[in-house]
């Protein structure tokens, strides 16, 4: 094997997220060690795997059979890796195999053979295969039609579980308890997949997973087992998960382990796979739920939970190695053929962002909705659980402030509702009956809730005492149970600072423990660390880990925490790049992060890794141990928010001063700076009452942008087009208005949005890159399509932007990364936001311009002198960054683009011109090229007129155009023939819905008028159906225009197959 092609997973989406950057990066690392030439296809420009150092050649192209075939034709690889890029890569591989592409070009599929993958992906084949070795799978059957599903249901009775094969994250799965729901779900799901299963619903059975590795000789191990706190029915990606299993005894643990080995032997897995079981809590009955014959989210979690690098080992096995010949990467002396022994407990909690979606259903279940996750390590369940809660960055300080809820059905808030129930005196048995969560967990949650209640200020509480009298034991116990200083401070009516002081005085400080894969049985030089209050001493060799030549300085890089909407793999790329740069400069580099889906939490990336919270308390604990300098500028908003606090605590921070960061973050201070510098900004005001808000809005004129300063679920950013809308939005936040003012600013319609990313050196501009948004202002910058270099900006605008940027840099003495967002209209610019940190677009602009802005920023922050003239505007190519949405996962959500971000990931592709880059990027997000017919729904006169030229083009291209009444009339006036269809509200047929359902529409362009509520119900139903039926949908006018011009200028065959280095010469 000289050259190997590896498929990435593309953009982050719900069900397929950062974990595949981790697995792909590890696979590339393994290839590099073997000096095998690696060719990577992955359009996700924000990943670490698409950095220069890992693969020999990178194609920012869609991971689809067409493009992969083209790359194979061009590169002629000897082998291909399909199991490191999630379901996207696997599905693509299966499709290529069906077309005999691998055979045709002599490409060997490495790792698990295609035949085995097919068996694991097709539930029918899977059930057959397992029955051959007498291993049980859920009872049920397979249906290709609704009628078949109904027949199975008749035999089994309700409730039933509907599942689809060939899915990522259980899409189109769910529990149905009657025939009506069954029919509804099955008909939707069968649109996406050819076949579904209808099976027994194993209510309240435990869900257990094993991560299994098998080598070319048939040697097998289970690296980790995991237990879902939420029983069957809640997708493992939606479930709180612990590792190792807690409620299984020796027999069950090893019985399921043996079954795992038996099953993967029978299936012929080569490398890594995940196997899921249901286990009856009342006896030892079990079912095998599924096998994932690839690296998965669970395997990423297992890798981080154990320290066993599953993806790396899987890659080595695919290259022909066997486990007994490989070494344990942590001990470097013992064998890789071993099963890690944990001496700690790991708790994973998913992170949801359902409040970011309009109309999203709250319930969670057998489909994935979470956008990220955190992993906490502790030596008791309460300790790890509360750590994990804080890691989520959702404003929860722990179990406390429980949510009062009448229902204990699974939702993103269930954990807190349970705590509240216990605090109200409910018993374990009752909660168990309702939730099916094993009493083992419930008893401990109860203990925590009760302990916290005993801390609450109450005259009757025996533990109640003034803080100064508070016994060591009470505080020590609170810390062992995972309570934060903040919660303790609140209970004793004091400050976090005082609690910290008290603790330190009494020696109540967390101890450093190592993750060494073998529970200290053998000595291991590991740098993988966590903190715990269940320990008497920190590991002795902690300081001696430093190699002597690195003894000079230490830098602590704070990671970005859980992936969420708005903070994702791009910040991991920034942190990893910064850490690598710091290390190259000879600093001892320490990373703190808590997200198991990241590359930054690979323990070999930094000199030390603390898998820990990014709270002020924990960062302080680590700072006390390590000292050194904090690096806060690369992990996004989470570390940025700590800047001022850390500065006030006297910690050393490199880069732009936190005082400046505060001046940029504080709206009032920043506004004054802009006024002083004579830089325009949209009129704004911070207001505390509805009356004042209405008055101010009237003065500046609608539409206005509303930004609550305190983000409650549901009260996110919004644009109000009228006083009634403003009232409506503010009412949602009415209770908090007096305490947390709302910011109202002028919303400029029809303005272009422009971002500048760059690096400052002591107030001077070192390098910058200007990207322009395709969509006009009003679409969140994270949801916008970015173009670099800008194609439609006036030179004058660019000059003004540079000028304003330089002024701001000078004023705030910026030294490090920054990002400024502007709006421009009629050659006038206004600043809308400044971030004194690396932004979401840093990896994009770095990889497109060929200048690594993070590397440069890091060097500058260390005081290095960099000079040069950096060409970032006049480029010979165009790169387009496009958002990836996961609306299909979020049932009920309106997919219309708004000021609040809702995309879950991004891709970026190169082209010789804007159209080529855009088409490639769009295809990389799963867009299907329309072939015959387009539906047009253009709201309002302006949208119709603006789109007219595009409509002509579409018509000229020979598309059949469907339109509703007004659009149809308008087109007719302009001699564009279209077929009139009825709106849903007209209750006549054929309606838009009929056509969508019948599959007559390849593309829907639905542009609604800002603020229009009339007819929006119709618009929503159309948009939602497009999502549910998998029909490409465009909701933004500028994006629609660009799409049409791209379609008219390019055919798919015109899209060039060029690697990154054929565009960008670094």
Enumerate binding residues for another protein (CB under 8 A): 217-219, 221, 244-251, 253-254, 257-258, 261, 281-283, 323-324, 333-335, 337-345, 379-381, 428, 438-440, 443-444, 511, 513, 518-523, 534-537, 539-540
In DSSP terms, 938 is beta-bridged to: 1007
Cβ atoms 609, 603 nearer than 8 A: yes
Least distance (Å) from another protein to the CB of residue 806?
55
Report strand pairing: 286-292 vs 345-351.
unpaired
CA distances from 346 to 226, 240, 269, 389, 953 (A): 9, 10, 27, 13, 57
Q: Are strands 206-214 and 220-228 parallel, antiparallel or unpaired?
A: antiparallel
Contact 862, 586 (CB under 8 A): no
Shortest distance (Å) from residue 334 CB to another protein: 4
Alpha carbons 195 and 668: distance in angstroms, whole number? 57
* Smallest separation, CB 519 to another protein (Å): 4
Closest approach, Cβ 443 to another protein, in A, equals: 4
Closer to another protein by Cβ: residue 539 or 1016: 539
Map 225-285 to HEC letters.
EEEECCCCCCCCCCCCEEECCCCCCHHHHHHHHHHHHHHHHHHCCCEEEEEEEEECCCCCC
Residues in the chain: 1066
Cis before 328 (ω within 30): no
Residue 952 class from Cβ within 10 Å (0-12 exposed, 13-18 middle, 19+ buried)?
Answer: middle
CB of 339 to another protein, least distance (A): 4
User: Phi and psi at residue 920, in whole multiples of 5°?
Assistant: -60, -45
CB of 209 to another protein, least distance (A): 15
> In angstroms, what is the minimal distance from the CB of 907 to another protein?
41
Q: How far apart are CA 656 and CA 650, in angstroms?
A: 15
Q: In angstroms, what is the minimal distance from the CB of 232 to another protein? A: 17
Q: Which is nearer to another protein, 225 or 904 (CB)?
A: 225
Residue 622 · residue 530 · CB < 8 Å: no
Which of 757, 708, 758 has its CA nearest to residue 733?
Answer: 708
Choice between 244 and 741, CB closer to another protein: 244
What is the pairing mode between strands 652-653 and 629-631?
parallel
Neighbours of 1058 (CB within 10 A): 16
Tell me if the bond preceding 703 is cis, omega within 30° of 0.
yes
Of 261 and 643, which CB lies nearer to another protein in the complex structure? 261
d(CA 349, CA 340): 22
- CA 878, CA 916: separation in Å to the nearest integer? 8
CA torsion through residues 1040, 1042, 1045, 1046, sign = negative
At 610, is the secondary structure helix, strand, or coil?
A: strand
Helices (runs of H) and strands (runs of E) counted in the chain: 37, 39
DSSP string, 800-864: HHHHHHHHHHHHHT--EEEEEEEEEETTEEEEEEEESS--TTHHHHHHHHS--HHHHHHHHHTT-
Q: How far is CA 48 from the centre of its chain?
A: 15
Query: Among residues 540 and 1065, whose Cβ is nearest to another protein?
Result: 540
Nearer to another protein, 370 or 526 (CB): 526
Which contiguous run of DSSP H or E holds residue 760? Answer: strand 752-761
Smallest separation (angstroms) from another protein to the CB of 302: 14
Query: Quick one: 336 or 643, whose CB is closer to another protein?
Result: 336
CB of 446 to another protein, least distance (A): 9
Given the complex with another protein, which of 133 and 519 has the nearer CB atom? 519
CB of 10 to another protein, least distance (A): 37
At 654, which helix (H) or strand (E)? none
By beta-carbon proximity to another protein, the closer residue of 537 and 869 is: 537
Closer of 218 and 586 to another protein (Cβ): 218
Distance between CA atoms of residues 1041 and 168, nearest Å: 32
Q: How far is the CB of 428 from another protein (least distance, A)?
A: 8
- Given the structure tokens 């969560």, which residue do they identify? 437
Classify burial at 632, counting beta carbons within 10 Å of its beta carbon; exposed 0-12, middle 13-18, buried 19 or more: buried
Half-sphere exposure of 1062 (CA within 13 A, CB side): 12
Min dist CB 273 to another protein, Å, is 17
| Residue number, 223 or 371, with CB nearest to another protein | 223
Closer residue to another protein in complex, CB, 425/958: 425
Q: How far is the CB of 521 from another protein (least distance, A)?
A: 5
Nearer to another protein, 384 or 587 (CB): 384
Q: Nearest approach, Cβ of 535 to another protein (angstroms)?
A: 5
Whose Cβ is closer to another protein: residue 87's or residue 517's?
A: 517
Between 70 and 214, name the residue whose CB sits nearer to another protein. 214
Return the DSSP state at 402: P
Q: Nearer Cβ to another protein, position 90 or 212? A: 212
| CA distances in angstroms from 808 to 148, 565, 1060, listed in the order given | 66, 28, 34
CB atoms within 10 A of CB 327: 12
CB closer to another protein, 159 vs 281: 281
CA–CA separation, 1015 and 983 (whole Å):
9
State the minimum distance, in angstroms, from the CB of residue 379 to another protein. Answer: 4
Nearest distance in Å: CB 396, another protein: 24
For the bound state, the minimum distance from the C-beta of residue 476 to another protein, rounded and expressed in Å, comes to 10
- CA atoms of 183 and 466, how far apart (whole Å): 61
Closer CB to another protein, 246 or 1045, in the complex: 246
């Amino acid at each position: 094997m000289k050259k190997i092609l590896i498929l990435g997973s593309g953009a982050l989406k719900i069900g397929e997220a950062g974990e595949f950057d981790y697995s792909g990066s590890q696979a590339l690392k393994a290839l590099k060690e073997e000096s095998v030439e690696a060719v990577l296809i992955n359009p996700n420009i924000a990943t670490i795997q698409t950095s220069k150092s890992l693969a020999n050649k990178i194609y920012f192209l869609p991971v689809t059979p067409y493009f992969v075939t083209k790359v194979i034709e061009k590169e002629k690889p000897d082998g291909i890796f399909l199991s490191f890029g999630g379901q996207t890569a696997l599905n693509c591989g299966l499709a290529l195999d069906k077309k005999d592409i691998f055979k045709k070009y002599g490409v060997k599929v490495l790792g698990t053979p295609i035949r085995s993958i097919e068996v694991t992906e097709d539930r029918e084949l899977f059930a057959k295969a397992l029955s051959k070795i007498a291993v049980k799978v859920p009872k049920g059957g397979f249906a290709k039609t609704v009628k078949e599903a109904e027949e199975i249901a008749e035999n089994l009775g309700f409730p039933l579980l509907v599942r689809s094969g060939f899915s990522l994250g259980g899409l189109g799965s769910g529990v149905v308890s009657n025939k009506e729901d069954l029919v509804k779900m099955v008909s939707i799901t069968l649109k996406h997949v050819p076949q579904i299963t209808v099976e027994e619903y194993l209510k309240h059975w435990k869900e257990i997973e094993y991560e299994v590795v098998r080598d070319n000789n048939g040697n097998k191990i289970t690296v980790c087992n995991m237990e879902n706190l939420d029983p069957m029915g809640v997708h493992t990606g939606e479930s709180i998960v612990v590792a190792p299993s807690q409620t299984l005894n020796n027999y069950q643990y090893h019985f399921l382990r043996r079954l795992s080995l038996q099953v993967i032997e029978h299936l012929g897995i080569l490398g890594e796979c995940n196997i899921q079981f249901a286990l009856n809590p009342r006896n030892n009955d079990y079912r095998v739920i599924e096998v994932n014959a690839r690296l998965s989210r669970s395997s990423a979690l297992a890798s981080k939970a154990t320290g066993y690098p599953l993806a790396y080992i899987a890659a080595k096995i695919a290259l022909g190695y066997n486990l007994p010949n490989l070494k344990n990467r942590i001990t470097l002396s013992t064998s890789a053929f071993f099963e890690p022994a944990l001496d700690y407990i790991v708790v994973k909690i998913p992170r949801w962002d359902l409040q970011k979606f309009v109309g999203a259903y709250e319930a969670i279940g057998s489909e994935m909705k979470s956008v990220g996750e955190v992993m906490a390590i502790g030596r008791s369940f309460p300790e790890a659980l509360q750590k994990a809660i804080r890691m989520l960055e959702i404003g929860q300080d722990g179990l406390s402030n429980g949510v009062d809820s009448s229902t204990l059905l699974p939702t993103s808030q269930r954990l807190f509702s349970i705590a509240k129930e216990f605090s109200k005196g409910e018993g374990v048995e009752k909660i168990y009956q309702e939730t099916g969560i094993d009493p083992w967990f419930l008893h401990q949650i109860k203990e925590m809730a009760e302990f916290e209640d005993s801390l609450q200020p109450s005259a009757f509480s025996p533990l109640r005492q003034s803080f100064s009298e508070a016994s060591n034991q009470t505080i020590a116990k609170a810390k062992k149970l995972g309570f934060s200083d903040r919660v303790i401070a609140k209970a004793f009516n004091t400050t976090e600072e005082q609690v910290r002081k008290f603790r330190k005085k009494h020696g109540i400080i967390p101890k450093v423990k190592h993750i060494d894969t073998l529970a200290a049985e053998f000595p291991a030089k590991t740098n993988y660390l966590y903190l715990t209050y269940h320990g008497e001493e920190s590991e002795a060799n902690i300081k001696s880990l430093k190699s002597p030549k690195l003894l000079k300085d230490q830098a602590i890089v704070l990671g970005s925490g859980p992936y969420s909407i708005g903070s994702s793999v791009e910040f991991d790329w920034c942190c990893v790049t910064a850490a690598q740069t710091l290390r190259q400069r000879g600093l001892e580099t320490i990373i703190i992060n808590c997200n198991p889906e990241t590359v930054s939490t690979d323990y070999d990336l930094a000199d030390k890794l603390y898998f820990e919270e990014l709270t002020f308390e924990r960062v302080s604990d680590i700072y006390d141990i390590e000292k050194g300098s904090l690096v806060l500028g690369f992990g996004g908003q989470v570390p940025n928010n700590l800047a001022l606090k850390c500065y006030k605590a006297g910690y050393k921070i490199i880069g732009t001063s936190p005082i400046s960061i505060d001046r940029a973050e504080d709206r009032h201070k920043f506004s004054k700076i802009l006024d002083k510098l004579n830089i325009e900004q949209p009129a704004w005001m911070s207001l505390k009452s509805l009356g004042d808000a209405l008055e101010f809005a009237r003065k500046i004129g609608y539409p206005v942008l509303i930004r609550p300063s305190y983000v409650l679920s549901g009260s996110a950013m919004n644009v109000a087009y009228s006083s009634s809308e403003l009232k409506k939005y503010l009412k949602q936040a009415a209770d908090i208005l007096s305490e947390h003012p709302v910011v109202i600013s002028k919303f400029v319609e029809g303005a272009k949005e422009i971002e500048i990313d760059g690096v400052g050196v002591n107030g001077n501009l070192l390098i910058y890159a200007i990207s322009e948004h395709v969509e006009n202002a009003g679409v969140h910058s994270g949801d916008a399509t970015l173009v670099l270099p800008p194609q439609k900006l006036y030179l004058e605008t660019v000059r003004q932007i540079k000028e304003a940027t330089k002024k701001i840099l000078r004023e705030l003495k910026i030294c490090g990364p920054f990002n400024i967002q502007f709006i421009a209209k009629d050659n006038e610019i206004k600043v809308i936001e400044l971030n004194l940190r690396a932004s979401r677009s840093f990896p994009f602009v770095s990889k497109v311009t060929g200048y690594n802005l993070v590397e440069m920023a890091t060097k500058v922050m260390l005081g290095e002198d960099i000079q040069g003239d950096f060409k970032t505007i006049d480029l010979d190519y165009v790169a387009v960054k496009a958002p990836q949405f996961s609306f299909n996962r979020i049932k009920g959500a309106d997919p219309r683009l708004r000021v609040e971000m809702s995309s879950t990931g991004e891709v970026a592709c190169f082209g010789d011109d804007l159209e080529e880059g855009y088409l490639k990027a769009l295809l990389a997000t799963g867009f299907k090229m329309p072939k015959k017919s387009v539906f047009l729904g253009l709201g309002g006169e302006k949208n119709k007129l603006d789109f007219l030229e595009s409509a002509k083009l579409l018509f000229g291209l020979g598309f059949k155009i469907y339109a509703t009444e007004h659009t149809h009339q308008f087109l007719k006036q302009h001699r564009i023939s279209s077929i009139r269809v009825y709106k849903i509200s007209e209750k006549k047929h054929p309606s838009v819905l009929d056509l969508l359902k019948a599959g007559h529409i390849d593309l829907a362009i639905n542009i609604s008028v800002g603020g229009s509520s009339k007819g929006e119900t119709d618009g929503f139903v159309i948009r939602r159906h497009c999502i549910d039926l998998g029909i490409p949908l465009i909701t933004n006018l500028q994006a629609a225009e660009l799409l049409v011009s791209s379609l008219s200028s390019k055919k798919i065959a015109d899209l060039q197959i060029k690697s990154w280095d054929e565009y960008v010469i670094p």
